[in-house]
Amino acid sequence: MACNPSVIVYILSTKFSVRNPSDFQEEISDEENRFADIISDLISKKSRGECDIDEDFYLYDDLDGSDDDEDEDVSAEPMAGPSSSQMSQEEVAGSEESVSEEESSDEPIQSSSSSYQPSPKKAAPMRIDEQYSLDQMKAIIEFVDKRGSAAALKRWTSLGTAVKIARIREFLEKGGHRLSKLEQLKNIVYTHFRDARDHYLPVHGHDLKGWSIEAARIVSLPSFKASASFLRSLKAQFRISSRKVTKFITKRTRTDEHVIERNARNFVAKINDMKITLGFPSSHVWNTDQSGFNYELSSGRTLSDKGEKETFAMVQSVNSLTHSYTVQVLISNDGYLAPKLFICFQESSGKFGPRVQERVRESQPANIIVTCTTSGKLTKSSLGFWVSSCLDPIVNDKTLLLQDSWTTQGDREVYDRNLKNSSLLQIETIPPKATRYIQPLDVYFFRQYKIMVRRFQDDVRCSATQSALTRLNDRVFIMQMHSFVYNQLSSSRFRHMLLYAWKASGYSIDEPLSSFENVLEVCFRDIFEDCSVNQCSSMAFIRCSHCNSPLCSYHCLNPLHFH
């Protein structure tokens, strides 16, 4: 209900000894003026019937002046009624006695099955800096100083009462809330970090701590100490972690890197445009690349005893760790592998001996094409063999092939001599040194391929039934292993992974891609069961990506598990 403001002012004057204004010797402070504005605003609202009197009255919540280390919002205490923490022991004891007396009295006790339902907890009010920007707060206070609170409340209706004006003024006087200052501090530190890493400078934990302490001075946090927990939260927020340096570069290399990245972006834009303007469907856009495999791939880490000075790992042949062969893969822009995988073995004479040739011919899987050179790397003649055996079957319409700048691949005559329809093939060469950015096979595919090969060889090496029977550097074993792995990666479950390799390189794909499963998730997640082959008691090491059957390494190849 409404009330008479004059009556309220009269009652206040009787409760406080009001002196004549001429008796004041001291100057009225800004704080007194602001408080008077608040009381005046409350009386005006009550006189208009716009507010009611509650049992507890809060002047305002001091949400912006917290300086405690936990950065929690602190609510002001109610003006009426002591809190439980403020009650003396005598008062608490007295209240307990009164409760006891009530319980022991003859008055009937109300049933506990009351219809009373406690009101839901109110959401924590927003901080003042979450409601208004710094510029808005400065404008409001500047306006209040010139024209008063009443005019400001009419102009900014969201203020509601003069209470919020007081909070804004206090926020500006203190230089901001602690939480907002911490966010400013973190952004300053991350700017230093980003600038250092953009220039390829090494950054360590003590650098972050030093930058944090410097930033604390800038944002006026004198008690800030850059604790270990703060640094952990900073690293987690900006995804900062310790990484091993894989390559050292000079300032000149860094300058060249910008040129390489620019050339890479231009090449991707060109290919995406060609797909549209020249009408290349995604199924006719291919990327090819070669990758070297050591005859034995072994994990570089192992669980072992703490404190040991040297950690050893058993391999079948030390030479197999340094001698290599090459595989060449084709991957399409619509997420498929070419029907055949090309393998080039290393032979000292540059060709297979008669007995080896016979074994290779008899054991060669349907999805593998094999040749050899003295180095284990492709030459112009072996490249021609790859063109005729792997590339020619897929060039049956207008086709776009993306390949790296390897000199031998740049000879167009090799393609013209070995393709039946060479006029249908258009070759685009990826700029030098840009393959790690924009070659799909390098960006993601080969990493997944080698994970599966390494897991396979590790299991064979550790398997008691196979380690004595299987030579990991045997050509027939390598052919069968790659046939199995290539067939696994040809599963439809890996199609989105292959599409991701293109998308991560910057190329356009024809369908949305939100998520995908990689090799570890499809084939090696939670494999703790026996092999599914009848009467095999070995523990499975892989789950088939086609039929989901758990298999041991022996029954992956004996007989060859192929879909």
pLDDT, tens digit (0-9, with 9 covering 90-100), for 288-333: 999 999 988 877 788 999 989 899 888 878 878 888 999 999 999 9
Asked whether residue 106 carries a pLDDT value surpassing 70, the answer given is: no
> Are 150 and 233 within one domain?
no
> Are 475 and 394 within one domain?
yes
Q: Cα(482)–Cα(452) distance, rounded to whole angstroms?
A: 10
Half-sphere exposure of 479 (CA within 13 A, CB side): 21
The set of long-range contacts for 94-100, using a CB threshold of 8 Å and a minimum separation of 24, is none
> Are 455 and 496 within one domain?
yes
> Are 261 and 168 within one domain?
no
What's the pLDDT at 100?
41
What's the pLDDT at 92?
38
Q: Token pair for residue 267?
A: 């090449």
Q: Cα(446)–Cα(321) distance, rounded to whole angstroms?
A: 18
Asked whether residue 79 carries a pLDDT value surpassing 50, the answer given is: no
- Answer yes or no: is 136 within a domain: yes
Q: Looking at the DSSP assignment, which residues form a beta bridge with residue 371?
A: 344
- Answer yes or no: is 119 within a domain: no
**Cβ-contact 513, 499 below 8 angstroms:** yes
What's the pLDDT at 87?
43
**Cβ-contact 369, 484 below 8 angstroms:** no
> Are 352 and 480 within one domain?
yes
The set of long-range contacts for 112-120, using a CB threshold of 8 Å and a minimum separation of 24, is none
- Does 110 or 501 have the greater pLDDT score? 501
> Are 189 and 162 within one domain?
no
> Are 364 and 400 within one domain?
yes
Kindly write down the DSSP assignment for every residue of 322-384, as one continuous string.
T-EEEEEEEEETTS-B-S-EEEEEE-TTSS--HHHHHHHHHH--TTEEEEEESSSS--HHHHH
- Answer yes or no: is 248 within a domain: no
> Are 231 and 261 within one domain?
no
CATH classification at residue 219: 1.10.10
- Does 68 or 404 have the greater pLDDT score? 404
- Helices 354-363 and 475-489: crossing angle in degrees, nearest 10, is 30
- Answer yes or no: is 110 within a domain: no
Q: Which domain holds residue 531?
A: 257-300+317-557
- Answer yes or no: is 94 within a domain: no
pLDDT digits (tens, 9 = 90+) for 357-401: 999 999 999 999 999 999 999 999 999 999 999 999 999 999 999
Q: Cα(342)–Cα(364) distance, rounded to whole angstroms?
A: 12
> Are 292 and 328 within one domain?
yes
Phi, psi of 359 (to 5 degrees): -65, -45
Range from 33-42, 155-164, 257-266, 537-546 carrying the lowest mean pLDDT = 33-42
- Answer yes or no: is 44 within a domain: yes
Q: For residue 262, what pLDDT band results from cuts at 50, 70 and 90?
A: very high
The count of structural domains within the chain is 3
Asked whether residue 94 carries a pLDDT value surpassing 60, the answer given is: no
> Are 158 and 265 within one domain?
no
- Answer yes or no: is 170 within a domain: yes
- Answer yes or no: is 96 within a domain: no
> Are 474 and 355 within one domain?
yes
Q: Token pair for residue 328?
A: 């060449």
What's the pLDDT at 7?
73
> Are 158 and 267 within one domain?
no
Asked whether residue 196 carries a pLDDT value surpassing 90, the answer given is: yes
- Helices 30-47 and 5-15: crossing angle in degrees, nearest 10, is 140
Asked whether residue 344 carries a pLDDT value surpassing 50, the answer given is: yes
- 413 C-beta neighbours (distance < 10 Å), count: 10
pTM for the whole thing?
A: 0.62
DSSP class of residue 394 equals G
- 417 C-beta neighbours (distance < 10 Å), count: 12
Range from 73-82, 491-500, 532-541 carrying the lowest mean pLDDT = 73-82
